[in-house]
């Protein structure tokens, strides 16, 4: 603190003492300003000098003890010094502000010549890889991709596929019904009927329908939500041999050029005749191993010639055109392709599993 003279000292010294005191405060503050190196220190000095209890402010109170003829001169001197110090404080604040800005710019400078930090890349999911590969194979054969709603009506999910409400084949799968007439689709087959109705009478109808489907299954080889790709070809003169040729080309593109297929008689309400399609084991080549359970063959999909009733519902005359259809589970193809033993690994999103692909 600056030494402040007592009232009786000012009375004794008169105006000369006041002048000396004002000059002493001015010189002392200007000297202290040079030493202040931070905005906080500068503000502390400003409050101590010109605040309500500051040394310069105190001189206004002490003027009461001066003779009347000196009060005007003393007041003017104090005001002049106050203006000088306020300008000095403002100049110092600007200097410190510039210094702080330069310091920040130096500390926060980015050297763009240095290599950037590596960005960790993710991995494409095996199902994404499988969808892309399946679509690429069939697009090369002239098929196009069609899509439809995942929440379906009972009509398109069952009845339009030759499954009336009392058909016993409905018991072959447990379905998720939202209401009596609304269901989570159990296969992508409804897309086939919707596409035929949209395209009729144009020919050929040549599509694959990839997407999610839902059934009440949950174990090492089944999931309540899984994925299918179904195919449909409707045209004049389509035969079972055409179906076999398309599927043979597909499995050789997917699993290797030395693969073979066989068609076993089966039953599906929406195809007639129907067949289960097996592929020769990609591990043992048909000799028999643990994967194919010693048979040399692995079931991969279902297929058949489109049922005449389904063609009629799609708007086509079964006497004029024929067609074939097939459907495969994408997870099953992925498990065979990549050697995945438990379907639940596909949905766990464990990075250690996904990074293998």
Gap between the Cα atoms of 26 and 4, Å rounded? 14
Residue 93 CB contacts under 8 Å (≥ 6 apart), including other chains:
39, 42
Gap between the Cα atoms of 64 and 351, Å rounded? 84
Per the CB < 8 A criterion, the answer to whether 190 and 157 are in contact is yes
Q: Which long-range contacts (CB under 8 A, 24 or more apart) does 160-167 make?
A: 160/190, 160/193, 160/310, 160/313, 160/314, 161/189, 161/190, 161/193, 161/269, 161/270, 161/310, 162/269, 162/270, 162/307, 162/309, 162/310, 163/269, 163/270, 167/269
pLDDT (0 to 100) of residue 243: 97
What Rg do the C-alpha atoms of the chain give, in angstroms? 45
Cis preceding-peptide flag for 273 (omega within 30 of 0): yes
pLDDT (0 to 100) of residue 9: 43
Q: Show pLDDT as tens, one digit a residue, over the chain (357 residues).
A: 444 444 334 344 567 777 888 888 888 888 888 878 788 887 888 888 888 777 877 777 777 777 777 777 777 888 888 888 888 888 888 888 888 888 887 777 666 777 778 887 777 889 999 999 999 999 999 999 999 999 999 999 999 999 888 777 676 667 888 998 999 999 999 999 999 999 999 999 999 999 999 988 766 667 788 999 999 999 999 999 999 999 999 999 999 999 999 999 999 999 999 999 999 988 887 788 887 888 899 999 999 999 999 999 999 999 999 999 999 999 999 988 888 888 888 888 888 888 887
pLDDT (0 to 100) of residue 111: 66
pLDDT (0 to 100) of residue 221: 62
pLDDT (0 to 100) of residue 342: 83
Question: What is the helix (H) or strand (E) element at residue 56, kind and residue range?
Answer: helix 55-62
pLDDT (0 to 100) of residue 142: 96
Per the CB < 8 A criterion, the answer to whether 37 and 92 are in contact is no
Encoded tokens for 117: 């930090």
Domain spanning 126-354: which superfamily?
Bira Bifunctional Protein; Domain 2 (3.30.930.10)
Per the CB < 8 A criterion, the answer to whether 206 and 142 are in contact is yes
86 alpha carbon, distance to own chain's centre: 57
Domain boundaries for CATH 3.30.930.10 within the chain: 126-354
The reply to whether the predicted model has a pTM over 0.85 is: no
Residue 335 DSSP class: H
CB neighbour burial string for 298-313, b if at least 16 within 10 angstroms, e if fewer:
bebbbbbbbbebbbeb
Using DSSP's 3-state secondary structure scheme, residue 214 falls into strand
Gap between the Cα atoms of 273 and 280, Å rounded? 22
pLDDT (0 to 100) of residue 219: 67
Give the position of tokens 């010294």: 13
Encoded tokens for 348: 């766990």
């Amino acid at each position: 603190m600056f030494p402040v003279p007592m009232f009786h000292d000012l009375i004794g010294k008169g105006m000369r003492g006041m002048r000396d005191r004002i000059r002493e405060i001015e010189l002392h503050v200007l000297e202290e300003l040079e030493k202040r190196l931070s905005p906080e220190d500068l503000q502390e000095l400003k409050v101590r000098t010109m605040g309500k209890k500051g040394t310069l402010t105190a001189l206004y109170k002490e003027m009461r003890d001066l003779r009347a003829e000196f009060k005007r001169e003393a007041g003017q001197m104090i005001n002049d010094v106050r203006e000088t110090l306020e300008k000095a404080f403002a100049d110092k604040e600007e200097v410190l502000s510039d210094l702080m800005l330069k310091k920040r710019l130096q500390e926060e400078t980015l050297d763009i010549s240095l290599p950037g930090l590596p960005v960790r890349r993710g991995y494409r999911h095996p199902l994404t890889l499988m969808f892309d590969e399946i679509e690429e194979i069939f697009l090369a054969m002239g098929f196009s991709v069609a899509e439809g709603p995942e929440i379906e009506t009972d009509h398109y999910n069952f009845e339009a596929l030759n499954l009336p409400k009392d058909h016993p084949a409905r018991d072959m799968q447990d379905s998720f019904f939202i209401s009596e007439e609304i269901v989570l689709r159990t296969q992508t087959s409804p897309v086939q009927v919707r596409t035929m109705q949209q395209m009729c009478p144009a020919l050929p109808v040549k599509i694959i329908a990839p997407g999610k489907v839902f059934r009440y299954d949950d174990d090492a080889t089944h999931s309540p939500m899984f994925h299918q790709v179904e195919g449909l070809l409707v045209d004049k003169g389509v035969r079972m041999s055409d179906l076999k040729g398309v599927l043979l080309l597909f499995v050789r593109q997917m699993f290797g050029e030395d693969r073979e297929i066989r068609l076993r008689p089966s039953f599906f309400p929406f195809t007639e005749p129907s067949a289960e399609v097996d592929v020769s084991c990609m591990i043992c080549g048909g000799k028999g191993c643990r994967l194919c359970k010693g048979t040399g063959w692995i079931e991969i999909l279902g297929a058949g010639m489109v049922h005449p009733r389904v063609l009629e519902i799609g708007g086509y005359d079964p006497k004029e055109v024929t067609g074939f259809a097939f459907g495969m589970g994408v997870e099953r193809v992925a498990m065979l392709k990549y050697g995945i033993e438990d379907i639940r690994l596909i949905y766990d999103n464990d990075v250690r599993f996904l990074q293998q692909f």
